[in-house]
Amino acid sequence: MKRTGRTRADELAAALARGPVEVLDFVLPLWAGAVLGLSPTAIGLLTATETLISLVVRPVAGVLADRFDRGRVAAAGGVLYAVSFAGYALAGGQAGATVAAVIGGAGGALFWVALRARVAEGLDDDSSAFARLFAAEGTGTWIAFVVALTVLAQIDYAGVFWLGAAASVGAAVVLVGSGGPVRPSPTAPAFGVLGRRLWPLLGVVALTAVAETGVSLLLMLHLQRGHGLDIGTIAAVFLPGFIVYSTVPEYLHGLVTRLGRTRVVTVALVCSAMFAGTLAFAPNPWVIAGAWILAAAAFAAAIPVEQAAVAEAAGVSLGRGMAVYESAVLLGATAGAVGAGVLYDRDGGWQLACAVAAGVLLAASVLMRIALRAVGVTDRPAPPTQPRPEPEPEPEPEPEPEPEPEPEPEPAGGAARAARPGAGSSPLRAWAVHAAVYVGAQIVLGVAGYSWPVETVLGGPHGAEWYWNASGHWLVNADRIWTLVFLIDTVWSFGRAVWTRRRR
């Protein structure tokens, strides 16, 4: 399926917003304790405030997304996100941080409910829409983590918050600029009716969110307390899983179109349960990182299917449907975070918490099959490359017989390939442009003495932390981020080229 400008805008906005939000969730407890001096109870109240406001505003966001232009509703959420980040940057105490949390909770509800409803509009044309949205969010997450943790030593927490505000403004601008018609839904069902229709699926969605959030928090707690890792090293363990989030969803969607939603999600959740159980006996962070990568791949298969199924079952009420979906995710994530923390504090809590997470995922794998059948969604969506069937033209009255046309010569192989949609575009062409810009910039930076690869190879011995944390001048730090992004882009581009060639 050919991506439109609006599709690209939605994915870019999701990446710009998701990354700073994930970074905020990661650093907020550290910032509140180290900078504001808040107690653990006050930090818990701060995060609970944002969660509560977001939960309350979600139904309102669903109604607005069904009545007004969804792009503009999401853009308003992006603006509130930016104000919230600015509030955190300027906060001098608990009161200011609480105001920022309230604004951020409202902004998150507006942004994600409206954006997902807007993406759901294109499901009839492209069944992989939510898979690509999930990948875009994963891309934004790992890039934001790399940038934030690299520059944190130079610009402190306030600078990271200002970067989040800038990214949120960018997301709002992208959505407003992409336009889109207003699509009111006057016949949309009430929330109660919609909830009764979707409750089997929403229950499984909440269970999946319980497990995903619980596993993530368990990893963070165990890496910090069980293995004594610092924030940068913990992020390095999480980073490969976030990269998996950004690379595999669209390919896994191909399995969904061939094998069906029920089978793929069931297998994915069972695999997630196995990986969660493996974490209980992981001897070191390397094994933990490997298990997290596999768990992330399984979640990347299951979550886009859940989103698409909710959108399909919601019918015309996409805004309300995404509102109840986001509410179920938020409730599940909150329960998962609280449960993981409580279990981890017990004796032998690490193994017990991993076992509970595995049990929750196994239960979700059994219930998912029942839920998908109960809501009556299509098990095998159409592949994204399959065009929609066009209506047959009405026959003309009394057609006159025409002579049989002479057969035209078949086009040459090159012309036939050129006629295929998307055949002329190769991922390696875009990579070649990126490589040319990167090499040219490294020459200039190398002459100036600020090229990170040159310093790495020729600059003499460096401490181990130099490769991840601050390494001197801000240009060197920025070049390190660029180098990492370029390496990932290289692997992604060549892998995609090989995959495309094999499919042909």
The whole-number pLDDT of residue 419 equals 41
The amino acid that residue 143 corresponds to is I
Comparing CA positions, the residue from 335, 332, 310 lying closest to residue 323 is 310
One DSSP character per residue, 335-398 reads HHHHHHHHHHTSTTHHHHHHHHHHHHHHHHHHHHHHHHHHHT--SSPPPTTSPPPPPPPPPPSS
The whole-number pLDDT of residue 13 equals 92
The whole-number pLDDT of residue 89 equals 93
Q: How far apart are CA 237 and CA 171, in angstroms?
A: 28
pLDDT tens digits, one per residue of 389-416: 444 444 555 555 555 555 444 444 444 4
Q: How far apart are CA 206 and CA 339, in angstroms?
A: 14
Pair of tokens at residue 473? 């001048």
pLDDT tens digits, one per residue of 21-33: 989 988 888 788 8
Q: How far apart are CA 418 and CA 235, in angstroms?
A: 44
The whole-number pLDDT of residue 185 equals 53
Using the structure block, give the residue that is written with the tokens 């994530």. Answer: 333
Read off the DSSP letter of residue 2.
P
Report which of residues 113 and 220 the model is more confident about. 113
Please check whether the domain covering 190-382 is classified as CATH 1.20.1250.20: yes
Q: Do 377 and 312 form a contact (C-beta atoms < 8 A)?
A: yes
Mean per-residue pLDDT, 210-219 = 81
Q: Do 341 and 356 form a contact (C-beta atoms < 8 A)?
A: no
Q: CA neighbours within 13 Å on the CB side: how many for 320?
A: 23
Given a cut of 60, whether residue 90 has pLDDT beyond it is: yes
Of 37-41, 393-397, 432-436, 489-493, the poorest mean pLDDT is in: 393-397
The whole-number pLDDT of residue 102 equals 94
| Max CA distance (Å), the chain | 88
Mean per-residue pLDDT, 228-243 = 78
Number of H helices, E strands in the chain: 16, 0
The whole-number pLDDT of residue 300 equals 85
Comparing CA positions, the residue from 96, 86, 103, 102 lying closest to residue 32 is 96
Given a cut of 80, whether residue 16 has pLDDT beyond it is: yes
pLDDT tens digits, one per residue of 359-387: 988 898 888 888 888 877 777 776 655 44
Report which of residues 72 and 428 the model is more confident about. 72
The whole-number pLDDT of residue 452 equals 77
Q: Where are the domains of the chain?
A: 1-180, 190-382, 430-502
pLDDT tens digits, one per residue of 302-352: 888 888 888 888 776 778 888 888 888 888 888 887 787 778 777 777 788
Quick one: 1-180 is in which CATH superfamily?
A: MFS general substrate transporter like domains (1.20.1250.20)
The whole-number pLDDT of residue 400 equals 52
Confidence of residue 77 (pLDDT cuts 50, 70, 90): very high
Q: Give the rounded percent of residues in the chain with a pLDDT score beyond 70.
A: 81
Pair of tokens at residue 346? 């017990």
Given a cut of 70, whether residue 485 has pLDDT beyond it is: yes
The amino acid that residue 386 corresponds to is Q
CB-based contacts of 113: which residues, under 8 Å, 6+ apart? 58, 61, 62, 65, 319, 322, 323, 326
Q: Do 380 and 262 form a contact (C-beta atoms < 8 A)?
A: no
Comparing CA positions, the residue from 26, 170, 165 lying closest to residue 86 is 165
Chain centroid to CA 154: how far?
27
Domains 1-180 and 190-382 agree in fold: yes
Given a cut of 80, whether residue 17 has pLDDT beyond it is: yes
pLDDT tens digits, one per residue of 464-484: 555 555 556 666 777 777 787
The whole-number pLDDT of residue 100 equals 94
Helical H runs in 68-128? 70-90, 94-120
The whole-number pLDDT of residue 165 equals 94
Using the structure block, give the residue that is written with the tokens 């490589």. Answer: 435
Considering the chain, what is the average pLDDT of its residues? 78
Given a cut of 80, whether residue 61 has pLDDT beyond it is: yes
Q: Considering just the CA atoms, what is the radius of gyration of the chain in Å?
A: 24
Pair of tokens at residue 263? 């089978």
Given a cut of 70, whether residue 158 has pLDDT beyond it is: yes
Read off the DSSP letter of residue 280.
T
Q: How far apart are CA 113 and CA 134, in angstroms?
A: 14
The whole-number pLDDT of residue 389 equals 47
Confidence of residue 189 (pLDDT cuts 50, 70, 90): low
Mean per-residue pLDDT, 86-98 = 91
Given a cut of 70, whether residue 178 has pLDDT beyond it is: no
Q: How far apart are CA 59 and CA 75, in angstroms?
A: 17
The whole-number pLDDT of residue 382 equals 66
